[in-house]
Amino acid sequence: MQNIPALETAVARLVTELEYDSIPPEALDGARRLMQDQLAVQIGCAALPWSRAVQELARAAHAPGRAHTTGSGDAMGPADAAFVNATLGHGFEYDDAHRASSSHPGSCVVSAALAIGEELGSSLREVITGIVAGYEVYTRIGVLAAPELLERGFHPHGLLSAFGAAAVTAKMRGFDLERTVHALAIALSHCSGTTEYTSSGGSVKRLHSGIGTRNGIRAAELAAAGITGPTTFLTGGKGFFRTYAGRDAGETAVAAFAPDVPFEITRVWIKPYCCCGINHAYIDGARQLSARAGEIDGIRLGIQTGGDVIIGTRNANAYAPRTIEHLQYSLPFQFALSILGLGNGFRTHHDYMQGRLDLGGGSAVAALARQVKIEVDPELDTGYPGKWVADITVDYRDGTSESIFVDSPLGTAENPMPPADLDAKFRELTSTALGPDRGEKLLRAIKSTDPATTATEFAALLRIP
């Protein structure tokens, strides 16, 4: 085999050399919290219209196999099952996030690992190892490519999930270094997806996770069949970084994959609000202003460049959302919902979809949203790299002003969601579909994560009666 560059070698070694016993306790805890949140979202979002459409499509055209879809329990090949489950898990802007890479690794790596695990008859020990391997490859590549991916209009999750799922599959199938390199290299050919949905909508955004996850598994399957990829898939002149980020990976890239680097999975961001994570710091700030909502004369929101692309002035429908995608990516409306005490969670957005929440031009929310002025502040880019922060100034009719700055919103590693709140979110999403008894049984199984339990035994708990 031709020489493999240092960065590509380091990435592949992270996958091939990772062992369950070498994963630190805090990383194992991160994997457990990730599974708890992601699987609850899959169950809670299984009945959404695009989720049902994807399940019907997969049911009609799937390859045979031993993996199962969450909710319906249809048996199919691992790539097809992971396609469905990752779509469910990314289906309503309520899944985990990773701040520094501006992405959502959980729906990819959890879905891929469980599907591969069922197909192979793996134990949860092997599933968790696959989750960690995929999460670390996905996020560490993503951190190196930030913030340019988002600022250039790419959907980081749509791109990174192919690498994450390929890494999961390579680890769980026991690929050697050379075959792992080719799996990841072939994954490059599957990287796609932009954030145009934030402006003009489109439920295909919900499928970006499923598309990338399926394609990452397929990339590894192609490598197993003997197909090869460009070994300079990250560092080449037409490789990932120069093509998508518009620059090279940087001088510290190889060191980012060293075995003694802290695990990114310890920094899982569990979302308390059912909308784009860039909104979350502003929502936290808005909740502090609700007592004086009726006195507001004007609102200025300082925003980072990448955030403005997604939820701010470069979002064509930020001030006039007409679809659920518009609403979940509208900073003015999410801010107004929070100040007015209407909530930013699963139920609020589901009510909007069902026509039970009026957010039209004559609503109080729309009126308050029109008072919001969004201003890009480059100093926030340089001062808070790898974070999404909120710089809020409110003017009141009595001539006074109030300023709030939030740099670590609720749910982030710096301001983690309390365990009781994480459990409450789990029950909110699972109790209706599973019933309280089955939901509690699943929650206990996740919390214990007995390494000897098989993926098949565990996945059976995810089926909706």
> Of 357, 205, 334, 333, whose CA–CA distance to 274 is shortest?
334
Find all residues with CB under 8 Å of 450, minimum gap 6, and list them: 124
Q: Residue 5: is the preceding peptide bond cis (ω within 30°)?
A: no
Same domain, 242 and 291: no
262 and 387 part of one domain? no
293 and 364 assigned to the same domain? yes
Asked whether residue 244 falls in the same domain as residue 366, the answer is: no
Q: Based on the fold, state whether residues 335 and 455 are members of the same structural domain.
A: no
Q: 397: burial class by Cβ within 10 Å (0-12, 13-18, 19+)?
A: exposed
pTM above 0.85, yes or no: yes
Is 397 found in the same domain as 310? yes
- Rounded-to-integer distance, Cα 275 and Cα 270, Å: 12
User: Residue type for 442, please?
Assistant: L
Q: Does the residue 247 lie in any domain?
A: yes
**439 part of a folded domain:** no
Cis link prior to 147 (omega < 30° from 0)?
Answer: yes
Clarify whether residues 65 and 136 are in a common domain: yes
Task: Tell me, yes or no, whether 432 lies in a domain.
Answer: no
The domain in which residue 371 lies consists of 277-406
Contact 173, 220 (CB under 8 A): yes
Rounded-to-integer distance, Cα 463 and Cα 73, Å:
5
CATH number at residue 152: 1.10.4100.10
Q: How far apart are CA 111 and CA 420, in angstroms?
A: 25
Instruction: Report angle CA 77, 83, 86 to the nearest 5 degrees.
Output: 130
Domain at 342, CATH number: 3.30.1330.120
Are 384 and 371 contained in the same domain?
Answer: yes
Give me the residues of the chain with pLDDT under 70, please.
1-2
pLDDT score of 58: 93
**Is 414 part of a structural domain of the chain?**
no
Beta strand pairing status for 67-68 and 75-76?
A: antiparallel
DSSP assignment letter at 243: I
Q: Is residue 417 part of a domain?
A: no
Domain count, the chain: 2
Q: Is residue 69 domain-resident?
A: yes
Q: How far apart are CA 220 and CA 125, in angstroms?
A: 21
Same domain, 264 and 148: yes
> 393 and 339: one domain?
yes
- Regarding whether 266 and 247 lie in a shared domain, the answer is yes
Q: Which residues contact 251 (CB under 8 A, 6 or more apart)?
A: none
One domain, residues 14 and 37? yes
In a domain, 415, yes or no: no
Q: What are phi and psi of 170, to 5 degrees?
A: -60, -40
Domain for residue 107, yes or no? yes
pLDDT at 1: 53
Instruction: Give strand pairing partners of 97.
Output: 269
